[in-house]
Amino acid sequence: MPQTWFECIRCGRKYPISEVKYRCESCGGLLDVEHDVDALKSRSGAEWKDLFARRSRMSKWPYQSGVWAKKEWVAPQIDDENIVSLGEGYTPLLRVKDLASLPEVWVKECGISHTGSFKDLGMTVLVSHVKQLISDGTQIRAVACASTGDTSAALAAYAAAARIPAIIFLPRGKISTAQLAQPIAHGAIVLGLETDFDGCMKIVQEITEDKSIYLANSMNALRIEGQKTVGIEIVQQLGWEVPDWIVIPAGNLGNISALGRGLTMMHELGLIDRLPRIVAAQAENANPLYQSFLTNFDEQRTVMARTTLASAIQIGSPVSYERAVKALRAFDGIVEQASEDELANAAALADRAGLYACPQTGVALAVLEKLVARGTIKRSDRVVVISTAHGLKFTDFKVDYHQKALSGVVSRYANPPVYLPADIDTVRKRIDAELA
């Protein structure tokens, strides 16, 4: 029996991990990577914890990465010399006092990473897998993705590190300047299309029907395997204690599925004895999962995604919908949404507590605040919010908020700069007035 393989999430058909395949040939379902869990049970839960804890103190290749420290659970098929790592994972888990109407909130800072978002976690696995395929003789000319900004930044960086060409499809004018600069700097072929993310996603799926152009979007199960380490890392950082809730911004729905898979694996392998509840946070302007949740997931709703400040989750037809529903059912999940006004003010309030929240993290914090107000989440509950990207990628959002220039947003915490003549008395008076 192989250690790991692709398996259709609908009909269960299996495929070798070395095949270039994104959907099931029989039924068109998405594939998951599955592992020989019985073989992994040769170590007890306590032994796995001990091994992971020891590796977290090592600088030995490839365990200096939070993803590769869990290699047996993630991608054992890849030889160490084919691993392409930029030091992903092991991001801070911060305890923040008095946030979102709670005495304390834990914030998993996935944006403190090489390209500034959690996408690095999945991309290290995908690009390493491609490098392995190439070294095993598979003809791959390039890797390609559609992106709302962060996927392309990560793919371009890892592909550059691996010296593999990257092709990036972006919805023209719908991503931040920082996110556009990243793939350009890494030498990717950057194609700005006159469409939205969903339109780019269609094109990339057609382009990658040519097997020599490898699809790097999160419908590719290898991405999910890397991203699933986030939940494992959170529990490890909490001293192997399971939080009551994990709140996560959700767009194309790969990450929420990944979170579920990592935690499920910990449960199966005896590292934890209970599961947290998961909250998927969506922007009201792009809320297909929320709409589906309202019908108890009876059917998949898609929407025409409207413009949202949370541009990384401006997605109307999420690819990993079925995977996400599976996770939400298994984790007694909730989906809630936040308006532009709510997400922007929640991000600003977090910044006042010393964070530097991206708009997507603003969505998660605003949703958390709602659920606390509603009594769904108790003040005594331990809550982790997944911060998905670094605020520095969203400078226009910050500046416009504080200039009160965001439409549909009342900037309740605006703090515009004060311009004064270089006169000591005027300056003194103003400081006294500000501190009064």
Ligand X SMILES: *Cc1c(COP(=O)(O)O)cnc(C)c1O
Distance CA 254, CA 147 (A): 13
| Per-residue contact flags (x/-) with ligand X for residues 40 to 79, judged by CB under 6 A | ----------------------------------------
DSSP string, 251-292: SSSHHHHHHHHHHHHHHHTTS-SS--EEEEEEEGGG-HHHHH
Q: Does 265 bind Zn ion (CB under 5 A)?
A: no
Query: Any idea which residue has 């990577």 for tokens?
Result: 33
Return the residues of window 141-160 that contact ligand X according to CB under 6 A: 150
Measured from the CB atom, is 256 or 269 closer to ligand X? 256
- Binding test (CB under 5 A) with Zn ion, winner from 2, 3, 7, 13: 13
**Distance, C-alpha 394 to centroid of its chain:** 16
Among ligand X, Zn ion, none, what binds residue 254 when CB lies within 5 to 8 Å by partner kind?
ligand X
| Least CB distance to ligand X at residue 382 (A) | 22
Among Zn ion, ligand X, none, what binds residue 218 when CB lies within 5 to 8 Å by partner kind?
ligand X
- Binding test (CB under 5 A) with Zn ion, winner from 2, 3, 7, 10: 10
Return the residues of window 341-360 that contact ligand X according to CB under 6 A: 358, 360
Amino acid at the residue 403: Q
Among ligand X, Zn ion, none, what binds residue 312 when CB lies within 5 to 8 Å by partner kind?
ligand X
3-state SS class at 169:
strand
Among Zn ion, ligand X, none, what binds residue 27 when CB lies within 5 to 8 Å by partner kind?
Zn ion
Closest CA to 338 of 408, 392, 415: 408
Give, for 213, the enclosing helix (H) or strand (E): strand 213-215
Measured from the CB atom, is 271 or 386 closer to ligand X? 386
Q: Does 267 bind Zn ion (CB under 5 A)?
A: no
| Least CB distance to Zn ion at residue 8 (A) | 3
| Least CB distance to Zn ion at residue 256 (A) | 22
Q: Is residue 359 within 8 Å of residue 310, measured between CB atoms?
A: yes
| Least CB distance to ligand X at residue 256 (A) | 6
Is 417 buried (19+), middle (13-18) or exposed (0-12) by CB count in 10 A? exposed
With contacts defined by CB under 5 A, name the span among 2-10, 84-92, 96-104, 116-124 that binds Zn ion: 2-10
Distance CA 29, CA 39 (A): 27
Backbone angles phi, psi at 191, to 5 degrees: -110, 110
Measured from the CB atom, is 324 or 406 closer to Zn ion? 324
Count of residues of this chain found to bind ligand X when the rule CB under 6 A is applied: 18
Q: Does 337 bind ligand X (CB under 6 A)?
A: no
- Binding test (CB under 5 A) with Zn ion, winner from 19, 27, 92, 408: 27
With contacts defined by CB under 5 A, name the span among 27-35, 37-45, 98-106, 267-275 that binds Zn ion: 27-35
Ordered alpha helix ranges (H), 92-220: 119-135, 150-162, 177-185, 197-207
Among ligand X, Zn ion, none, what binds residue 26 when CB lies within 5 to 8 Å by partner kind?
Zn ion
Q: Is residue 125 within 8 Å of residue 67, measured between CB atoms?
A: yes
- Binding test (CB under 6 A) with ligand X, winner from 128, 255, 292, 345: 255
Q: Does 252 bind ligand X (CB under 6 A)?
A: yes
The residues pairing with 168 across neighbouring beta strands, listed in sequence order, are: 145, 190
Give, for 360, the enclosing helix (H) or strand (E): helix 359-373
What are the tokens at 242? Answer: 């399971």
Among Zn ion, ligand X, none, what binds residue 249 when CB lies within 5 to 8 Å by partner kind?
ligand X
Pairing of strands 383-387, 31-35: unpaired
Q: Is residue 7 within 8 Å of residue 32, measured between CB atoms?
A: yes
3-state SS class at 52:
helix
Pairing of strands 31-35, 4-8: antiparallel
Q: Does 119 bind ligand X (CB under 6 A)?
A: yes
Distance CA 305, CA 342 (A): 18
Helix axes 321-330, 254-268, angle to 10 degrees: 40
| Least CB distance to ligand X at residue 424 (A) | 44
- Binding test (CB under 6 A) with ligand X, winner from 4, 77, 115, 218: 218
Measured from the CB atom, is 69 or 259 closer to ligand X? 259
Q: Does 389 bind ligand X (CB under 6 A)?
A: yes
Among Zn ion, ligand X, none, what binds residue 8 when CB lies within 5 to 8 Å by partner kind?
Zn ion
CA dihedral over 370, 343, 122, 139, signed as positive or negative: positive
With contacts defined by CB under 6 A, name the span among 30-38, 64-72, 250-258, 264-272 that binds ligand X: 250-258
Binding site for Zn ion (CB under 5 A): 8, 10-11, 13, 24, 26-27, 29
Binding site for ligand X (CB under 6 A): 117, 119, 150, 218, 249-256, 312-313, 358, 360, 388-389
